[in-house]
Amino acid sequence: MKATQAISAALLQASFVLGHGGVTEYQINGEWYTGMKPYNSPTNQQPSIQRYWQSFDPIQDPTSVNIICNNPGTVAPLSAEVPAGSEVVEYWNSGWAHNLGPMVTWMTECPSECSSWNGQGGKWFKIDEAGLSSGVLANGKWGSADMIAQNYSWTSTIPRSLKPGNYLLRTETIALHSNPPQWYPNCAQLKVTGSGTVSPGAQYRASIPGVYSMSDPSINIQDFWTSKETTYKIPGPDVWKG
């Protein structure tokens, strides 16, 4: 085979694989934690703080339980200890391709140990989000483009006043170039420590699944590619600042 053919075949394959993705590593309060690596089978799942997903493929049904923590989203054996107020850096696979959509980071309490709860029935609150900061929908500057520019990473701060306990941290991007959109949810199990005393109230909470719907004009965007719209309403409650 000619070298050029081999190279273009390799590039084709790389761009196919790199078209999707997820969070593969975390840096929490300065320490590294290995997350999911794509296409591992459940039987060779590495012990991790990150809930298991089996491929880079997105979730495209907002009513599916897989919207919670990806597919299959089964519990992880480990949790990371993190003092409230510290930073969690979520590293996506490098080469992440989708730059048209918001970044949203959610948390919810695990009823006891996170490793013994499937995540269903949680009332989630947002700790950060980033939508469209300039330009129009199909051609503007989105949170996901910031993630790409930051070495494919997203930094979230655990609110300092948050009450200690076991939490899921759910990092997602919603890629809006397709309809239905492509959700890429990632859940890490955290044990939050510190002297916080506060839990967000009901007005900051949403169910997942539930918060996203194909009847929401922010999700089912009929004219995405031609729209002159320069604002985007990220679904769900306001961010809780602590």
Ligand X SMILES: *[C@@H]1O[C@H](CO)[C@@H](O)[C@H](O)[C@H]1NC(C)=O
> What is the spatial distance between Cα 143 and Cα 135, in angstroms, rounded to a whole number?
12
The one segment of 19-27, 145-153, 195-203, 224-232 that binds Cu ion by CB under 5 A:
19-27
Residue 173 in contact with Cu ion, rule: CB under 5 A: no
Cβ-based neighbours of 71, under 8 Å, separated by 6 or more? 53, 54, 55, 57, 59
Q: For residue 47, say if its preceding peptide bond is cis, omega within 30 degrees of 0.
A: no
Among residues 89 and 162, whose Cβ is nearest to ligand X?
Answer: 89
Report the partner that residue 20 touches, choosing among Cu ion, ligand X, none (CB closer than 5 to 8 A by kind): Cu ion
How many Cβ atoms from other residues are within 10 Å of residue 106's Cβ?
29
Site for ligand X in 67-106 (CB under 6 A): 91, 94
Among 20, 21, 23, 25, binds ligand X (CB under 6 A): 25
19 binds Cu ion per the rule CB under 5 A: yes
Distance in angstroms (rounded) separating the CA atoms of residues 122 and 206: 8
Q: What is the phi-psi region of residue 170: left when phi exceeds 0, alpha when psi lies from -120 to 50, beta otherwise?
A: beta
Number of residues that bind ligand X (CB under 6 A): 4
Part of the chain binding Cu ion (CB under 5 A), chosen from 14-22, 65-73, 118-126, 206-214: 14-22
Closest CA to 123 of 206, 190, 52, 46: 206
Q: Which amino acid is at 171?
A: T
Residues 146-185 that bind ligand X (CB under 6 A): 151
CB of 151 to ligand X, least distance (A): 4
Residues that bind Cu ion (CB under 5 A): 19-20
Where along the sequence are the contacts to ligand X (CB under 6 A)?
25, 91, 94, 151
